[in-house]
């Protein structure tokens, strides 16, 4: 099972606004994105994140896993997430 972590210098505000202090880039996450991002910050593993999201949202596992994978790829490409 792959594990991920948020780089130390990245902070997210309550409104879902992210500022990268080394590059000046800014991003805004929606509610779902914010929830997932915070799970990564809490160092939860992927299984835990999937189970938590299945509890919170009305969605089947297959769709959730596919969407989560897309989101992870996006975060990685923006240097907001690193694979451990």
Q: Which residues contact 24 (CB under 8 A, 6 or more apart)?
A: none
d(CA 69, CA 4): 12
> What are 53's two structure tokens?
């999201």
Binding residues vs other proteins (CB under 8 A): 19-25
Helix axes 46-56, 31-41, angle to 10 degrees: 150
* Comparison of 18 and 36: residue with beta carbon closer to other proteins: 18
CB of 10 to other proteins, least distance (A): 12
Cβ nearer to other proteins, comparing 20 with 64 = 20
30 vs 33: CA distance, rounded Å: 5
Query: Whose Cβ is closer to other proteins: residue 19's or residue 27's?
Result: 19
């Amino acid at each position: 099972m792959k594990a991920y972590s948020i780089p130390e210098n990245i902070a997210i505000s309550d409104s879902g606004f992210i500022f990268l202090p080394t590059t000046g880039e800014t991003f805004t996450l929606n509610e779902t994105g914010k929830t997932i991002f915070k799970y990564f910050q809490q160092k939860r593993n992927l299984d835990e994140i999937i189970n938590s999201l299945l509890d919170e949202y009305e969605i089947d596992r297959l769709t959730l896993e596919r969407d989560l994978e897309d989101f992870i790829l996006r975060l990685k490409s923006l240097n907001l997430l690193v694979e451990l």
